[in-house]
Amino acid sequence: MKRSRSQVDIGLLLLRLGVGATLIGHGTQKLFGWFGGHGLTGTATGMEHMGFQPAKASAVAAGLGEAGGGALLLLGLATPVGGAAVAATMASAATVHAEGGFFATEGGWEYTAVLGVAGTALAISGPGRYSLDRLLGHRLNQPWITAAAFAAVTAATIAVQARRRQTLSNTTTPDPTAH
């Protein structure tokens, strides 16, 4: 059965609304302490413990990647930029959860992967008819913008993860069996 264009557009709208709202919620927890979050100070403390430096800038970046990227997806505005921001933020989050394996019930990266893949898919597919991008004539939803956004966030993610690995390798825990 072939789907109509309207069905596809409604599906994209629902995906954008669900993923975008979820990310806005998580990002505002980090930035403002809303919805039971820890706010910027608590998030920065957590980021420091996870090896992200500078911690406060990392907390702001994570919060903006989630809330800002989520808002862009929800609105269907600059969809490639929003999707790329979400993908990069979730890639870094997945590294934190990697030790827990795949499933979120064990502290794994399953949840972050789903959000990151959804952001990537929306950046590639576009937001559909029911979007601000469409109202603006897709000026902010061009293939070159998608490529540029993913190139930029990939470079930033590599740099952030390299710095995190360096920070974690410089943090040594004393061996309790050593004399």
CB of 66 within 8 A of CB of 89? Answer: yes
Q: Please give the pLDDT value at position 3.
A: 81
The pair of structure tokens assigned to 172 is: 């040594």
Q: What is the pLDDT of residue 23?
A: 98
- Specify whether the backbone of 33 is left (phi greater than 0), alpha (psi in -120 to 50) or beta: left
Q: Which residues in the chain show pLDDT less than 70?
A: 172-179
Q: What is the pLDDT of residue 172?
A: 59
State pTM to two decimals.
0.91
pLDDT at residue 1 in the model = 80
pLDDT at 171: 78
Q: Annotate 97-142 with DSSP letters as a single string.
A: HGGG-S-GGGT-SHHHHHHHHHHHHHHHH---SSSHHHHTTTTT--
Q: What is the pLDDT of residue 125?
A: 96
Mean pLDDT, the chain, rounded, equals 94
* Domain assignments of the chain as residue spans, ordered by start: 11-169
